[in-house]
């Protein structure tokens, strides 16, 4: 092994000496990339990646692999590696925020699902199935794409709720814009699901909209 490979200022050696929390975002990206491109180091390629968005790694985490792969020195294989790393981070954050798994209000919903949903570049509509003690039985992805009352059918929410013996349901979806203010379609979907839940005896307790570091709850507007 050459002496240069043990340079103490290189990201890999800094990580071993100080731990990953001591590294800057560009250094962490460089380690995930593994190498640079001809004439440019992995750190230089990491800088090019970070220039794609204003929020650093969080901007990159919202991008599909195809968007990352256009940066010189990244390509399809490294873009897939980066996307996998971002997803591991999201799932770890979600697991940490959901340790109690008992839903007491909208903030618990945000802590549980927010890390997974807030950085997505398209809307996802989820149903959280609860038991009688308001503990989570299961989280169900209902639909992905623009939320529209004509496209979100109650059976996709309540079929798994009935199968799991759920006592109640909480609806959750994200706004990729980062602004969680409910739209007219959000309210229409809520009314539709609340009506179906009443018919089936499985109440909809809330509809929480995830934004960038904040949330909105339709229960606060009296929509339930």
**What residue spans define the domains of the chain?**
8-94, 100-221
Query: What six digits make up the tokens of 9?
Result: 């200022």
154-212: per-residue pLDDT in tens? 988 998 899 888 999 999 999 999 999 999 999 999 999 999 999 999 999 999 999 98
* Cα–Cα distance list, 54 to 15, 26, 37, 47 (Å): 25, 14, 24, 12
Q: Which residues fall within 8 angstroms of residue 111, CB to CB, at 6 or more apart?
A: 97, 98
200-218 b/e (C-beta count within 10 Å ≥ 16 → b)? eebebbbbbbbbbeebbbb
Residues 206/218, Cβ–Cβ less than 8 Å: yes
CATH superfamily of 100-221: Cytidine Deaminase, domain 2 (3.40.140.10)
| Confidence check: pLDDT of 83 > 60 | yes
More confident residue, 39 or 19: 39
Residues 167/102, Cβ–Cβ less than 8 Å: no
What's the pLDDT band for 10 if we cut at 50, 70, 90? confident
Residues 48/72, Cβ–Cβ less than 8 Å: yes
Q: Which of 5-9, 22-26, 107-111, 214-218 has the lowest mean pLDDT?
A: 5-9
90-101: per-residue pLDDT in tens? 777 665 554 447
């Amino acid at each position: 092994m050459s002496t240069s490979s043990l340079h103490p200022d290189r990201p890999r050696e800094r990580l071993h000496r100080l731990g990953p929390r001591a590294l800057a975002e560009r250094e962490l990206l460089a380690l995930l990339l593994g190498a640079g491109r001809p004439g440019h180091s992995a750190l230089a390629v990491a800088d090019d990646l970070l220039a794609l968005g204003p929020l650093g790694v969080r901007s990159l985490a919202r991008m599909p692999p195809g968007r990352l792969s256009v940066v010189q020195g990244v390509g399809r294989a490294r873009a897939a590696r980066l996307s996998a790393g971002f997803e591991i981070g999201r799932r770890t954050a979600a697991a940490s925020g959901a340790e109690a798994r008992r839903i007491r209000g909208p903030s618990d919903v945000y802590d549980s699902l927010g890390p997974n949903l807030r950085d997505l570049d398209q809307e996802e509509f989820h149903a959280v199935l609860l038991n009688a003690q308001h503990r989570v039985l299961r989280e169900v992805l209902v639909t992905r794409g623009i939320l529209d009352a004509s496209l979100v059918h109650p059976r996709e929410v309540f079929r798994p709720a009935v199968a799991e013996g759920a006592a109640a349901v909480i609806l959750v979806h994200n706004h990729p814009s980062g602004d969680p203010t409910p739209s007219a379609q959000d309210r229409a979907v809520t009314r539709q699901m609340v009506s179906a839940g009443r018919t089936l005896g499985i109440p909809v307790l809330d509809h929480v909209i995830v934004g960038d570091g904040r949330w909105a709850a339709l229960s606060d507007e009296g929509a339930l």
